[in-house]
Amino acid sequence: MESPVHCDLFCNVIDNFGDIGVAWRLARQLDQEKGWRMRLWVDDLKSFARIQPGIDANAARQTIGRVEVVHWVPGVAAPDAIADVVIEAFGCALPHNYQQAMAERQVAPVWINLEYLSAESWVEGCHALPSPHPRLPLTKHFFFPGFGEKTGGVICEEGLTRQRERWQADTASQAAWWQARGINPRQDAERWVSLFCYENAAVTPWLQHLAESDTRWRVLVPASRVLADVARALGQEKLAAGDSVNLGNLQVDVLPFTDQAGFDRLLWSCDVNIVRGEDSFMRAQWAARPFLWHIYPQDEDAHMVKLDAFLARFTATLDGATRDALVAAQHAFNRHHGLAEHWDAFIARTPALARHGWQWADQQLVGGDLATRLVHFCENRLQ
């Protein structure tokens, strides 16, 4: 197309940082790499400001880079100019007046429902299916991110792998970056773990297990919901950003909440990463380091089905001992009991998991990343 594609991306923040994290990455990538003109509608600018410097949580409209950011009150959206492509992230409902304006547009926009990432097999059969509006002359298409060529793919910015490789090879820059944030350089034979998860009863005994280990452990914890469990393990009433506490062979450093680039550097710096939700889950995979995923808990153990679907894909080419150690640790952590008992077996398999992580990351880009597949799908319908 001769003129840039104009895209409205709506995001209703539910999980504090995961929803807006994915939406913001996608908006920037569509702007910077694909040349689309992006307008991001967000209902929770305070959460957004935690991961993106420069966001004014009180502004009705603002521009970050070239992306226009609009404070959105769900149910209301002034349709001053309906975009060529309209994306509702994670099933957030578009305002009725906006839908009406879409229908009145001379050429109806491409309407996308961007779903949550899933490794479940049914995703391939549902990806890109149309859903006609019950009243208006509009059709919405369901776009499912996933781990196969018949899905919408996963978010990965151009050049991310090269950035990671440069960072992991430059220990001097790593040490300087961490020292500027008040974190002492890595000691000989010390192993680093990042911990960014939801509340989890398995954390306290696990940290106590690390303290009693023969290995020297450093656990880096961004200030988040898990801090109460961490404080309990260390015998502290509470913890806050900037705190550093030693217990036996364990040192815990509490980090200020960081922007997305800083979070990537945290994951790239650690030997093992413990992450949560969707956005940090994918960033852990791009870090190509062994990781545990604290999936968002759901009723009737629905989250365990999703976890096992991912593990089935991720471990398909692993040897039996490595697969069993990883699955046992993942299950223990997500059932909030027993991680300490399975930790040593998991750690013993981390050399194999690290090698596998590099191969897995490369495999996920076969067929294109999410932004590339989304652009191809939409622009074919705009011609």
Q: What are the tokens at 308? A: 């096992």
State residue 362's pLDDT score. 86
Same domain, 42 and 131: yes
The yes-or-no answer on residue 104 being catalytic is no
Residue 346, CA atoms < 13 Å, CB-side half-sphere = 23
239-247 long-range contacts, CB within 8 A, separation 24+: 242/182, 247/207, 247/208, 247/211
Q: What are the tokens at 13? A: 């923040």
Residue 47, CA atoms < 13 Å, CB-side half-sphere = 19
Same domain, 141 and 274: no
Same domain, 181 and 266: yes
- 78 vs 100: CA distance, rounded Å: 11
As a whole number, mean pLDDT of residues 322-349 equals: 98
374 and 152 Cβ atoms separated by less than 8 Å: yes
Q: Is residue 86 part of a domain?
A: yes
For residue 157, count other CB atoms closer than 10 A to its CB. 18
- The tens digit of pLDDT for each residue in 178-234 reads 999 999 889 889 999 999 999 999 999 999 999 999 999 999 999 989 999 999 999
Q: 113 - beta bridge partners? A: 88, 142
As a whole number, mean pLDDT of residues 247-259 equals: 95
The yes-or-no answer on residue 84 being catalytic is no
Q: What are the tokens at 116? A: 């949550």
State residue 17's pLDDT score. 77
Q: What are the tokens at 220? A: 């880096």
For residue 355, count other CB atoms closer than 10 A to its CB. 13
- 195 vs 344: CA distance, rounded Å: 17
Confidence of residue 15 (pLDDT cuts 50, 70, 90): low
Same domain, 173 and 304: yes
Q: Is the model more confident about 255 or about 362?
A: 255
- 290 vs 305: CA distance, rounded Å: 21
Q: What is the CA radius of gyration of the chain?
A: 22
Strands 250-255 and 244-247: antiparallel
Same domain, 187 and 227: yes
Q: Is residue 185 part of a domain?
A: yes
Same domain, 375 and 361: no
- The tens digit of pLDDT for each residue in 121-171 reads 999 999 999 999 999 999 999 999 999 899 999 999 999 999 999 999 999
State residue 320's pLDDT score. 98
What is the largest distance, in Å, between two alpha-carbon atoms of the chain? 69
Q: What is the mean pLDDT of the chain?
A: 94
In this structure, is the dihedral angle defined by the CA atoms of residues 267, 364, 308 and 341, taken in order, positive or negative?
Answer: negative
Give me the catalytic one of 115, 278, 279, 369.
278
- How open is the CA angle 101-104-110, to the nearest 5 degrees? 75
For residue 311, count other CB atoms closer than 10 A to its CB. 18
State residue 298's pLDDT score. 87
Strands 250-255 and 139-143: unpaired
Looking at the structure of the chain, the number of domains it has is: 2
33 and 15 Cβ atoms separated by less than 8 Å: no
As a whole number, mean pLDDT of residues 333-339 equals: 97
State residue 16's pLDDT score. 61
Q: Is residue 104 part of a domain?
A: yes
Element (H, E) at 143: strand 139-143
Q: Is residue 283 part of a domain?
A: yes
| Helix orientation angle between 279-287 and 18-32, rounded to the nearest 10 degrees | 60
For residue 45, count other CB atoms closer than 10 A to its CB. 22
Same domain, 209 and 355: yes
- The tens digit of pLDDT for each residue in 55-85 reads 999 999 999 999 999 999 877 777 678 999 9
220 and 195 Cβ atoms separated by less than 8 Å: yes
Residue 1 has pLDDT above 50, yes or no: no
Q: Is residue 1 part of a domain?
A: no
Q: 111 - beta bridge partners? A: 86, 140
Same domain, 204 and 310: yes
Same domain, 204 and 243: yes
Q: DSSP characters for 190-210?
A: EEEEEE--S--TTHHHHHHHH
Same domain, 149 and 215: no
For residue 299, count other CB atoms closer than 10 A to its CB. 6
- 100 vs 285: CA distance, rounded Å: 40
Give me the catalytic one of 8, 15, 19, 43.
19
- The tens digit of pLDDT for each residue in 283-314 reads 999 999 999 999 988 888 889 999 999 999 99
Residue 330 has pLDDT above 90, yes or no: yes
Q: 10 - beta bridge partners? A: 41, 88
Same domain, 69 and 174: no
Same domain, 69 and 105: yes
Boundaries of domain holding 73: 6-153+368-380
146 and 369 Cβ atoms separated by less than 8 Å: no
318 and 350 Cβ atoms separated by less than 8 Å: no
Q: Is residue 282 part of a domain?
A: yes
CA distances for 67 relative to 27, 37, 63, 70, angstroms: 7, 7, 6, 10
State residue 187's pLDDT score. 87
Q: Is residue 82 part of a domain?
A: yes
Amino acid in the structure at residue 15: D
